[in-house]
Amino acid sequence: MLRIKINGIVQGVGFRPFVYKTAIELGLKGYVLNSTSGVEIEACGMEKNLELFVERIKKEHPPAAFIREFHIEEKEDVPYTEFTIQQSQNRKGSTQISPDLAVCKDCIRELFDESDPRFNYAFLNCTNCGPRYSIIENTPYDRPVTSMKNFKMCEYCNGEYTDPLNRRFHAQPIACPTCGPQLKFLNKNFEEVESDPITNTIKFLKEGKIIGIKGIGGFHIACDATNYETVSELRKRKDRPHKPFAVMCYYEKTSEVVEMSEEHFELLKSPAAPIVILPKKETSPIQNNVAPQNPNLGVFLPYAPIHHQILSNELPFLIMTSGNFHDEPIAAEEKELSGLCDFFLTHNRPILNRSDDSVIRVSKPQNVMMRKSRGYVPSPLKLPFKTVQTLGAGAELKITFALSKEDSFFLSPYIGNSNSKQTLDFYTDTLKKYKKWFELEPELVVCDLHPDYMTTRFAESTGLPLKKVQHHHAHIAAVMAEHHINEPVIGIAYDGTGYGTDGAIWGGEIFLADYSKFERLFHLNYMPLPGGDAAIKHPIRIAYAYLLAAGIDPDFLENISEIEKRIISKQIKNKFNIFQTSSMGRLFDCVAAMLDLFPEITFEAQSAMALEFLSAEKDVSGKDNYPYNLEKDKIDIIPLIRAVAKDVQRKEPHHRIAEKFHSTIINFTLEAVKKAHRKTGIRKVVLSGGVMQNKVLLEGISKVLTKNNFTVFVPSILPSNDGSISVGQVVVGNKKLKIEN
Ligand code: ZN
Ligand code: ZN
Ligand code: FE
Rounded to an integer, what distance in angstroms lies between the CA atom of residue 274 and that of residue 372? 9
Which DSSP letter does residue 241 get?
S
- Under DSSP, the state recorded for 690 is G
CB-based contacts of 21-25 (< 8 A; 24+ apart in sequence): 21/164, 21/165, 22/53, 22/56, 22/57, 22/60, 23/53, 23/83, 24/83, 24/165
pLDDT (0 to 100) of residue 94: 53
Task: Output the CA 529–ligand 3 centroid distance in Å.
Answer: 17
Regarding the domain with residue range 494-713, which homologous superfamily does it belong to in the CATH classification?
ATPase, nucleotide binding domain (3.30.420.40)
Kindly give the distance from the C-alpha atom of residue 643 to the centroid of ligand 2, in angstroms, as a whole number.
70
Dihedral of the CA atoms 391, 395, 400, 404 (nearest 10)?
A: -20
Q: How far apart are the first and last CA of the chain?
A: 47
Distance (Å) from CA 698 to ligand 2 centroid: 51
Positions in the chain whose pLDDT score sits under 70: 88-95, 532-533
Q: Give the distance (Å) from ligand 2 centre to CA of residue 144.
A: 16
Q: Quote the CA–CA distance of 29 and 16 in Å, as a whole number.
A: 14
Position 533 scores a pLDDT of 63
Nearest alpha-carbon partner for 719 in 452, 460, 394: 394
Cα 163 to ligand 1 centroid, rounded to whole Å: 16
pLDDT of residue 379: 87
Ion ligand 2: residue ranges with CB closer than 5 A: 154, 157, 176, 178-179
Considering every ligand atom shown, identify the ligand nearest to the alpha carbon of residue 450 and give its number: 3
- The ligand that comes nearest to the alpha carbon of residue 166 is 1
Alpha-carbon separation of residue 579 from 92, 188, 505, 552, 557 (angstroms): 53, 46, 7, 20, 22
- Nearest ligand to the CA atom of 476: 3
- How far is the centre of ligand 1, averaged over its atoms, from the C-alpha of 103 (Å)? 5
Q: How do residues 161-216 score in pLDDT, each as one tens digit?
A: 999 889 999 899 999 999 999 999 999 999 999 999 999 999 999 999 999 999 99
Ligand nearest to the CA of 478: 3
C-alpha closest to that of 175 among 201, 156, 191: 156
Ligand nearest to the CA of 103: 1
Q: What kind of fold does domain 97-181 have according to CATH?
A: DHBP synthase (3.90.870)
Rounded to whole angstroms, the maximal C-alpha distance in the chain is: 91
Among candidate residues 237, 186, 256, the one with its CA nearest the CA of residue 214: 186
Which fold would CATH assign to domain 183-357? DHBP synthase (3.90.870)
Ligand 2 mean position to 126 CA, how many Å? 13
Q: Count how many Cα atoms sit within 13 Å of the Cα of residue 514 in the half-sphere of its side chain.
A: 11
| H or E stretch at 389 | strand 380-392
Task: Let me know if 580 is exposed, middle or buried by CB neighbors in 10 A (0-12, 13-18, 19+).
Answer: middle
> Residue 131 C-alpha to ligand 1 middle, in angstroms?
10
pLDDT of residue 595: 96
How far does residue 227's CA lie from ligand 1's centre (Å)? 33
Which ligand places an atom closest to the C-alpha of 472? 3
Parse the chain into domains and list their residue ranges: 2-85, 97-181, 183-357, 368-487+722-740, 494-713
Phi, psi for 610 (deg, rounded to 5): -60, -40
Cα 11 to ligand 2 centroid, rounded to whole Å:
23
CATH of 2-85, one of 3.40.50.2020, 3.40.50.970, 3.30.70.100, 3.40.50.300: 3.30.70.100
Compute, in angstroms, the gap from residue 732 CA to the centroid of ligand 3: 16
- Interval between CA 398 and ligand 3 midpoint (Å): 9
Report the separation in Å between the CA atom of 64 and the middle of ligand 3, taken as the mean of its atom positions. 32
Contacts of 646 (CB under 8 A, 6+ apart): none
Q: How far apart are CA 639 and CA 28, in angstroms?
A: 75
Give residue 449 CA to ligand 1 midpoint distance, Å. Answer: 46
Q: Are strands 39-44 and 2-9 parallel, antiparallel or unpaired?
A: antiparallel
Burial 594-620 (b: 16+ CB within 10 A, else e): bbebbeebeebbbbbbbbbbbbeeeeb
Tally of CB atoms within 10 A around 502: 9
Q: Do domains 97-181 and 494-713 have the same CATH topology?
A: no
> Mapping DSSP to helix (H, G, I), strand (E, B) and coil, where does residue 74 land?
strand
Cis peptide before 140 (omega within 30 of 0): yes
- What confidence score (pLDDT) does residue 89 get? 62
Residue 171 CA to ligand 2 centre (angstroms): 12
CA of 123 to the centre of ligand 3 (A): 39
- pLDDT of the residue at 31: 95
Ligand lying closest to the C-alpha of residue 155: 2
Nearest residue to 714 (alpha-carbon basis) of 737, 689, 731, 696? 689
List the one residue out of 116, 117, 127 whose CA is nearest residue 178.
Answer: 117
Separation between Cα atoms, residue 427 and residue 412, nearest integer Å:
9
Instruction: Compute the distance from residue 159 Cα to the ligand 2 centre, in Å.
Output: 9
Q: How far is the CA of 563 from the centre of ligand 1 (A)?
A: 62
Ligand closest to 473 (CA) is 3
CA–CA distance, 65 with 14 (Å, rounded to integer) = 8
Amino acid 532: pLDDT: 60
Pick the CATH number of 368-487+722-740 from 3.40.50.1260, 3.30.420.360, 3.30.70.20, 3.40.50.410: 3.30.420.360
* Cα radius of gyration rounded to whole Å, the chain: 27
Q: How many Cβ atoms from other residues are within 10 Å of residue 389's Cβ? A: 16
